Amino acid sequence: MYAIVEIAGQQFKVEEGRNIFVHRLDAAEGDNIEFEKVLLLDTDGAVTVGEPVVDNTVVEGRVVAHPRGDKVIIFKKKRRKGYQKRNGHRQDFTEVEILRIGAPSGIKKQAAPKAEKKEAETPVAEEVKAEVKSEVKKAPAKKPAAKKEPAEKKAPAAKKAPAVKKSPAVKKSPAAKKAPAKSAGKTEKK
C-alpha cells in the first residue's frame, strides 16, 4: 500500500514504516502530524485517483528530526573576464516517519448545507435585518443639485505677442579669439 501526498508544495510517494525527508515543517521533534492532501491511493493493486484529492484519506506521520542537507556549491565564472564567484548552501529538512495511511482517526464535523444554515438563524438576527431594511427605505431621497448659472461671462484673455526668437550667436574663428601676442621688451614709439 502506498500513496502520493502533497507536503509543503511537493509531491511524495509514501509507504507505511518508511522515512521521508521534506522541506522544513513547523513541528517539534516527536509531534504527530497528518497530511490531508492525498492525491493517489494504491491499496494492493486497486488505485484510487483523487479529483483533486482522495476523500476521507489521510497520511499520519511523526517528526523524527530536523537535519540539514549536504552542502551544495554554487560556482559562477565568466571566462576571460576574471570573474569567479563561489557560494555554498545547506537546505533545512524535516525527517518524517510514516505511521499510517487510511481514514482519518478523528471524526470531523461536516459543514451543513447553505439552506439549513438560513433556517438556523436566530430571531434576533432577523429583527436586526428588518430594522436595517426599514431604515434604508425611510431615508429621504436626495434632491439633485441645481445648476449654477455663471454670474458674468469672462472676456477672452488678451493674446500675448509671440516671443521673438534670438538669432544664434556668431561663431568666431579660433584665430580671432586669440589676442595678438605682445613682444617682450620691444615697444614701438612714434
Q: Which long-range contacts (CB under 8 A, 24 or more apart) does 42-51 make?
A: 42/1, 42/2, 42/3, 43/1, 44/1
Give tens-digit pLDDT for 133-157: 666 555 555 666 666 666 666 666 6
d(C-alpha 101, C-alpha 55), whole Å: 13
Q: The C-alpha cell of 165 is what?
A: 526668437
pTM of the model: 0.52
CA distance 190 to 180: 20
> Tens digit of pLDDT for each residue in 65-121?
999 999 999 999 999 999 999 999 999 999 999 999 998 876 543 333 444 444 545
